[in-house]
Chain A
């Protein structure tokens, strides 16, 4: 009975496969036999099983489907180019005193915006509220772009309630931000200086996560980036 199974024998991947019923019977039997003399193995399996059960039951009840102000999604294809065009048009509107602010969908600007989206070399993601699902979406989007084009430059810029994403006091995503930044040198997180002042003025503490940098204001930063040709995405 001095057979010792250590972590090398039972990797986490194997134990997960056991819990998910993915092993053939010889491998399954081997683990079942080992459990008897290996309390630690039993505990690891229990923990995995418990985690699996928690996930399984976390969505037994999901919210009613439609919210009163459901977002309309101009998904798929041309609508995307149109929304980018709208944004570009808006900034040209600000800085060009209205020139080209009303581009038609078939205009060269829309065409260029469409091209841009196929080669998203520089992407600015703007978050201005603290809804956890929107925070998560901003990070998902950054991750998706970076996965698609490893040399893409991506910035996540936050203002208003979006500052909560980068405040250590409030962010649910500190670990994920750290991991993403570590993996992607060309990813930056930018906090709005105005928003920080407002938070402090209202009596909140603001300690930014180590990955964050501060811009004077988010709007100026967005405007600069758009003028430099960045693709702008509003969450």
Chain B
């Protein structure tokens, strides 16, 4: 009997709920916005629960949820954007530094997060799925619906870029065009 059949609906719901923190953390590593991450994690859980019947035996629950989170995030990027919070935004001070709890986290952590935030979208998703959650390349390919070769090349470029951003003096020199 496989893992999916061996669980009652109620147990499955519990296991999905138990992934909330991981979904939040991944969404935060993608967006660096805690309120947005909370919404994305919530939406992914809600969609996951609604689509329980689509969960296949071969799926690993967590990576299945990450693929739903990925679709939530892409939908967010294509869509949303709220006009009603313009006033709240206008009240924010200019030059607010760093991720929003920057005072609590160590400087290194902050530097790494900023470097990750500077990566192109696709590279950021691949490197965080592999390094934060330990997903295999083939799982990442499934989550993001891209070929495994794309996963590997994005990961390569992401790590090279991170190294360049975090240790510019040690990484290989990169020419920067000056116009």
Contacts and interface: CB of A to CB of B under 8 A. Distances in A.
A80 B80 contact: yes
Interface stretch (B5-13, B50-58, B62-70, B152-160): B152-160
B99 A83 contact: no
B39 A73 contact: yes
Given A16-B156, A22-B136, A136 B117 contact: yes
The bracket for how many chain B residues form the interface is: 35 or more
Given A58-B109, A63-B100, A132-B98, A83 B120 contact: no
Interface SS, B side: helix
Interface in B85-142: 85-86, 88-90, 92, 94-101, 104-105, 108-109, 112-114, 116-121, 127-128, 130-132, 136-137
A130 B90 CA distance: 11
Interface in A53-86: 54-67, 69-77, 79-80, 83, 86
Interface string B63-86: 000000000101111111111111
B109 A233 contact: no
Interface of A: 12-13, 16-17, 20, 22, 47-48, 51-52, 54-67, 69-77, 79-80, 83, 86-87, 90, 117, 120, 128-134, 136-137, 140-141, 143-145, 148, 160-161, 164, 170, 172-173, 175-176, 178-180, 210, 233-235
12 contacts: A65-B24, A70-B39, A80-B79, A83-B83, A129-B94, A130-B96, A132-B97, A132-B99, A132-B114, A133-B33, A172-B117, A210-B178
**The 6 A-B residue pairs with the shortest CB-CB distance in the complex, in nearest-first order:** A161-B94, A70-B35, A55-B131, A58-B112, A80-B79, A210-B179
